[in-house]
Amino acid sequence: MFRDKITRRARITAQSRVASPVIIRSVPQRLREVAEEVQPFVEEVKELFPRLMAPAMMPFTPYPMRVINRFDMVAAILPREIIFRLAENPSVEKIYHDQTMYALFRTVPEEGIFKAPHKVTKEIEFTSTKWTKKLVGADMANKKGFNGRGILVSITDTGASRVHEQTRRVDFESTMKQYRDENGHGTHCTSTVGGQEATDEYLSQRSGRRVLCEGMAPECGLLAVKCLGYYLGMGSTSNIIDALAISLDRGASVISMSLGGTSMTETPQEEPYYKVMDETVKYGAIPVIAAGNEGPGSNTIGAPGCLPQVLTVGAYDPIRGNVADFSSRGPTNWGEVKPDVVAPGVNVDSAIVGVLDTAGDGVPSRFSPISGTSMATPHVAGLVALMMECHGRVLDRKLTVEEIKRMMSELGLEKNNTVGWGAITWEIYERWLSTTYGVDL
């Protein structure tokens, strides 16, 4: 009787958490009785677990208990023991997990989806930056003459290849003993921001169709600051902070940071990056930082992406349109809703070198489709560079991270801890120009 009444998903979720959101369906004519039994425990959860009832728990608030008379249902966040007790109540017909649902994002068209044989996984399905830039609208911006010209984007990462055809025009700095990208992560991120158009010859042959790759802002200035290394892409907080200082000294307007570690502090002020990001934003630069790859659990946003001053980026799948399971979720340790936005970050092909060269396609071909919020972040950094260029040329003013957040809060989704305000796009930016400044491009 107990197992018949509570669904498998509701049971597993309840077993793993102190309190969980559930939907309880009563037997006909017994809804009021069930709601009255649930009410005291809802109040108990509010008192004992205030974070569960904070704005960060949207969409479950501001309705700690929701009665749906038409369908004999009541929804609430309840303690584990009460959920199991209700499953034995003769007035209860079924208990479901109250699952969070998300908007689906635009996907690349069929011609932008490639399949190729893989010696380990047998087949890979992927897309490329030439197609994901269409999803964020960077191609539209390029057609209107905004290519990132005059905007310097710093990519603080494992460095970038000096000889790859997508990244030959990159300038270099390093906080380490050498500049070489022995890992490949930084090359992939740099080429996604502003790489030149190039063909992945290997995957073109294997898929039977030409696979083109191109950065979001192909004429922006690119500064690859190496602060991660040792083949595994590891570094220290001090290396990264030093890379931020170099970026500002070199005049970077956008700083792309596809990196991070576990956030262990109780307040943002305790993070060593806090004052650094304060200075970065005061300088006028926009820090674009990966949310992390610790999803789908909540409270998994990494540092420095957890900080309030930055633009934090989660990942979605550009082929299927859903949020990536690995994309880290909020809230932060202090209850702030994060990430801020999402961008394509699953199986995206672009330039790569070093140990990651074989990661996506199984061969050392100097291109590879890989996944992560690390891949989503440079999409946003390149797009922001295009917006900054437009702001300067059309409005004669500087775009700030605060204005981007205002734009997304007004024109994006209602913010939540999985996708933030949703996908940031050039289309949203054009609407912002029109509604806020009366400018139509």
Mean pLDDT to the nearest integer, 147-161: 97
The confidence score (pLDDT) of residue 157 equals 95
- Supply the DSSP string of 372-422, one letter for each residue: SHHHHHHHHHHHHHHHHHHIIIIISS---HHHHHHHHHHHSPPPBTTTBT-
- Both 45 and 118 in one domain: the answer is no
Mean pLDDT to the nearest integer, 12-28: 85
Average pLDDT, the chain: 90
CATH at 53: 3.30.70
pLDDT tens per residue, range 266-316: 999 999 899 889 999 999 999 999 999 999 999 999 999 999 999 999 999
The confidence score (pLDDT) of residue 52 equals 44
Number of folded domains in the chain? 2
Q: Which domain holds residue 16?
A: 2-97
The confidence score (pLDDT) of residue 45 equals 63
* pLDDT tops 50 at residue 51: no
Catalytic residue among 185, 188, 379, 391: 185
Backbone angles phi, psi at 411, to 5 degrees: -115, -10
pLDDT tens per residue, range 367-391: 999 999 999 999 999 999 999 999 9
Q: Which residues contact 188 (CB under 8 A, 6 or more apart)?
A: 350, 351, 352, 356, 368, 370, 374, 375
Secondary element (H or E) of residue 10: helix 8-16
> In this structure, is the dihedral angle defined by the CA atoms of residues 393, 394, 395 and 401, taken in order, positive or negative?
negative
Is 76 among the domain residues?
yes
pLDDT tens per residue, range 83-127: 999 999 999 999 988 866 555 677 888 999 999 988 777 899 999
Tell me what percent of the residues of the chain surpass a pLDDT of 90: 70
- Supply the DSSP string of 233-286, one letter for each residue: TB--HHHHHHHHHHHHHTT-SEEEE---B----SSGGGSTTHHHHHHHHHHT-E
Confidence label for 44 from pLDDT (cuts 50, 70 and 90): low
- Both 259 and 370 in one domain: the answer is yes
CA distance 64 to 55: 11
The confidence score (pLDDT) of residue 347 equals 96
* pLDDT tops 90 at residue 409: yes
- Both 39 and 115 in one domain: the answer is no
The confidence score (pLDDT) of residue 71 equals 80
Q: pTM of the entire structure?
A: 0.82
Is 93 among the domain residues?
yes
- Both 70 and 116 in one domain: the answer is no
Indicate the pairing of strand 286-290 with strand 171-174: unpaired
Helix (H, G, I), strand (E, B) or coil at 316: strand
The confidence score (pLDDT) of residue 41 equals 82
- Both 78 and 189 in one domain: the answer is no
Confidence label for 80 from pLDDT (cuts 50, 70 and 90): confident
Q: Active site includes 26?
A: no
Residue that terminates a domain, selected from 43, 68, 97: 97
The confidence score (pLDDT) of residue 56 equals 38
pLDDT tens per residue, range 238-261: 889 989 999 999 999 999 999 998
Is 173 among the domain residues?
yes
CATH at 195: 3.40.50.200
Residue that terminates a domain, selected from 44, 70, 97: 97
- Both 323 and 351 in one domain: the answer is yes
- Both 63 and 160 in one domain: the answer is no
Q: Active site includes 185?
A: yes
Sequence letter at residue 20: S
Is 406 among the domain residues?
yes
Q: Active site includes 249?
A: no
The confidence score (pLDDT) of residue 75 equals 85
pLDDT tens per residue, range 171-230: 999 998 888 899 999 999 999 999 999 999 999 999 999 999 999 999 999 999 999 986
Backbone angles phi, psi at 2, to 5 degrees: -60, -50
Is 105 among the domain residues?
no
* pLDDT tops 70 at residue 53: no
CA distances from 80 to 17, 83, 86, 363 (A): 7, 5, 10, 49
Is 222 among the domain residues?
yes
pLDDT tens per residue, range 332-361: 999 999 999 999 999 999 999 999 998 888
Residue that terminates a domain, selected from 65, 97, 129: 97
- Both 69 and 126 in one domain: the answer is no
What ranges in 150-220 are assigned the alpha helix state H? 185-194, 201-207
